Structure 1
Amino acid sequence: MLAVMACLPFACGCSGPAALVVNGRPIPSGEFNREVQRRLAVIKKKSPEELEGESGRRLEAETARQVATEMVKAEIMAQQASKLGVEVEPREVAAKLEQQQTKTGADQFAQDLESQGLTLEKYTDTLEQQVLVDDLGEKVTEEVTVTGDETESYFLTHKEQFSKPAAAHVAHILLESEVQAGIVADEIRRGVEFSTMAKNLSKDDATRANGGDMGWIEQGSMEPAFEQVAFTLQPGQSSAVVKTSDGYQVIKVLERREAYSPTFNEVKGEVIKAVESGKKEEKFADWLRTAYANAKVEVVAPGVGKWDPRMGMVVGP
């Protein structure tokens, strides 16, 4: 499913009464109400009983508070981005949109938009907001540095985080028919080159050109039927027919590696990234708390609640 978050346009030229005012900037009631109604419509379509009675009224109120919170935060981010000179590049948004469409498939993507009452334009706005927050995070944390002592100390207290599970370097041939897979397995046992069979017959577009080479897979990352074979065969051996959720496969193990605990020098780059990521997340979280606490927010929409600067959210009236 598509990840959905409320979006606030960065330059609002809309007229009409304000539902929210953030640092003197109004968010129109029409925009606020449309988003609340869109979310309630999605709930009604999936589980209409959730909107019935007293519990339904509470859900409606909570939905309004959630939308108000997200819109306030989005406006605060837009204002902070303007102050810091952070601008979203259209190509960043386009790349994120293409990635999402590719991941879910064009048809499923369109269905997901429809089921959530979203237009492509509206969804693109949500992606733009996500990119803006990411870019702001990079700007705010660009001066974060990591020392050698920090990385060594982190490694000593988080060694299990960097332990390497057993892994196998495997190739496979994916086929739709069990009979055909059986014939392929027999041919390989008779000496036909595995990679040649993969290039000619495999249905896996991602690996066919490379002779079925899937690279290294870690134990626990594939479905049980596949792993049972991949971590039983010895390097150089190929399997009989293996039925998986993808179809019928013939598997060959190229290399094997047992689980092990690496030294600091072996994973130094990973440790540096982990420490840096943690420090950046902490700094950005502190920055966000300050931005929320310092914002002057007025919740004008009746019955929605009020902005709690300490919690960074709209709470009940």
Structure 2
Amino acid sequence: MKRSWNFGAGAIALAIVLAGCQGKPGQGGAASGGEVVAEVNRTKITLDEFNKEVEKVPPMIRPMFNTEKGRKDFLDDLILREVVLQEARKQGLEQDADYQRKVADFKRGALLEMVLRREVEEKTKVGDEDVKKHFEAHRAEFKTGEEVRASHILVKTEEEARKAQEKLTQGADFASMAKDVSLDPGSKGKGGDLGFFSRGQMVPEFEQVAFSLPAGKVSPPVKTQFGYHLIKVTKKKEGKPQEYEEVAAHLRQRLLREKQKAAFDSWVGGLKTAAKITVNEGALNKGIEKGPSEASEGAGPAGKGNPHKAAEGKKESTDKPAGK
């Protein structure tokens, strides 16, 4: 058992150290000051450098390298990395076009990360009072087991949505219209029925309307990233109210994301307004291959017009999976 554990720790350390090579192109080989713990062909590895590399290790496995053997194993892997880097330089790979492109990509990414941290993350905070105030003002939203069953009609433009709404007002059948005109291939065959879903499963704009509508009512046009929806709530399951302590952590993260998105949109909007931007649509559209996929135009990623969050392809792990 002990021998297996040592092998696992070494493998983890090696993977982390080699990942350090890939994550920061052009780095390595120059000592950063402090007592020297090793030297590889006159290139020094200092204690400061060693400790900084250990700090990059995930906290849960960092204790592995807080023993004499663990530190020696980790240093051996740093030496291995330096040997490989020196061989790469010896082969002239620093002048390779692919390497230079990767360095440029890394620099752009680092700059973007830094400016977003400065202009968005550091300027948006959510305090305890903000969380409590939102909870008290929206207590009805915080229920466990609350579900809604709804159908929808998805169209491309607001004008199309208004026309469909007018026909419904005049007595048209919702399910029949969904089968005829909805762009959501996943629900149109079922008359637009999405089944039951709980909070957190749909994109925010859709969810807000669906949970606020009385059963049997049809919403005005609702805009999401997929187009314009007419939403009809068919059934509701009341949930059990949650206490503040049950939702505070998740609510804080949600409010922070919303605040950061608003700050980002405002900041980037100002930059775009101030910038001189020209777009050559003729050149942009050259080479477009037209095919069967155009039949689902406007229906969202991969032809999906379903407003489930999973269709967005970029939601946090706290979100629930797509619906039933």
Specify if TM > 0.5. Answer: no
Please, what TM-score do these two structures have when normalized by structure 2?
Answer: 0.36
Please, what TM-score do these two structures have when normalized by structure 1?
Answer: 0.37
